[in-house]
Amino acid sequence: MFITGIWFVGSMVGIILVARFALYIPARKLAHAGGLSQSATGQLLGYLTSAPELVATVFVASTGLFTVVSTNILGSNIINTLLATVAAVLFGQLRRIAGSRFRFEQAVVAGSIVVPVLLLVTGQDSALWSGIALGAGYIAYMRVMRSRQEVSGPSQSESAQKPWSGRRSHIVLQVLIVIAGLVGLYFLGDVLGDSVYELGVAFAVPAVILGVLTAVATSLPELTTFFSSFAAHRKAGTDGNSEVVHNLMASNVVNLLVVQAVGVVAYTVFA
């Protein structure tokens, strides 16, 4: 059990490091080079910081321990929300991100917590119909986000930078780093899935405990992005609330509507 525990902890630490240095940092550089708006940057960061959840979910779901998957998704979304709140408090931005400007985003984040709770309570979290419904929900989410973007459009401050103004070699390098990070996450997720299976089956560690531990590990990349975004915008004298809020919303939405849906498919096919 000791060796399995080391592999479990080591894979979690590896996921955190890869997400921090091979996903977040190059993603911020790509967003800057592309002249992306704050909301678009936040969405990009949200997608990338959900990569650890996706990798862990696929490998764990394929072992048949879907309670770990469901607990991980729910725990990750709760922890993400708490981390964003703590970061906003420390940077004096809580009143702004909790204001009427972000009512839609707040409702989506709340739904990303309520829905997995309902699925867990009713025992439908691993049902194939729930995976299909979650996938359909993601399509609806994308349509709503596209329509909202078309209506509002980027602000003048957000669109002031010329798109892709950086050196081509620099941009290509950042893309390659992100790809390498995703490949690294794949192998780390394989190790994490195997160690979770061993701890849950061979050593009878409760699935809820494994899910919570995995949720903490896979949510630490969001911790990095929330605090780093607030710090970067404070240093630049700009308002980074939109970036953080959209990072949180995108991460939670992807966790529930994409990651859990993929997990249901993996569970149905392989478990």
Q: E strands within the chain?
A: none
Is residue 255 situated within a structural domain? Answer: yes
Q: Judge whether 158 lies within some domain.
A: no
**Which pLDDT value is given to residue 153?**
57
Q: Mean pLDDT score of the chain, rounded to an integer?
A: 88
The answer for residues whose C-beta is within 8 angstroms of residue 248's C-beta and 6 or more apart is: 42, 46, 80, 81, 84, 105, 109, 222, 226
Range of the domain at 130: 2-152+168-270
pLDDT band at residue 152, thresholds of 50, 70 and 90?
low
Using the predicted structure, report yes or no on whether residue 211 has a pLDDT greater than 80. Answer: yes
CA–CA gap between residue 257 and residue 142 (Å, rounded): 11
Confidence of residue 223 (pLDDT cuts 50, 70, 90): confident
Nearest to 252 by CA among 14, 69, 74: 74
Q: What pTM does this model have?
A: 0.85
Q: With the CA atoms of 226, 228, 242 and 104 taken in that order, what torsion angle do they form, in degrees rounded to the nearest 10?
A: -10
In a domain, 51, yes or no: yes
**Looking at the predicted structure, is the pLDDT value of residue 270 above 50?**
yes
pLDDT score of 68 more than 70? yes
Whether the Cβ atoms of residue 219 and residue 76 lie closer than 8 Å to each other: yes
Q: Compare 217 and 73 and report the one with higher pLDDT.
A: 73
Tell me the C-alpha distance between 143 and 257, whole Å: 14
Report whether 69 contacts 61 (CB < 8 A): yes
Query: How far apart (Å, rounded) are the C-alpha atoms in residues 119 and 257?
Result: 12
Across 66-81, average pLDDT: 94
Q: Is the dihedral of CA 95, 249, 19, 210 positive or negative?
A: positive
What span, in angstroms and rounded, lies between the C-alpha atoms of 68 and 237? 42
Specify the higher pLDDT residue, 63 or 109. 109
State how far Cα 41 lies from the chain centre: 14
Residue 82: in which H helix or E strand, if any?
helix 66-90
Q: Give the model's pLDDT for residue 169.
A: 87
Residue 163 domain-assigned?
no
Burial of 127 (0-12, 13-18, 19+ CB in 10 A): middle
Flag the least confident range among 143-157, 200-214, 215-229: 143-157
Look-up of token digits 């966790």: 255
Total domain count, the chain: 1
Q: Is residue 157 part of a domain?
A: no
- Exposure of 14 in the CB half-sphere (CA atoms within 13 A): 20
Judge whether 70 lies within some domain. yes
pLDDT at 159 (0 to 100): 46
* Domain membership flag for residue 133: yes
d(CA 208, CA 193): 15
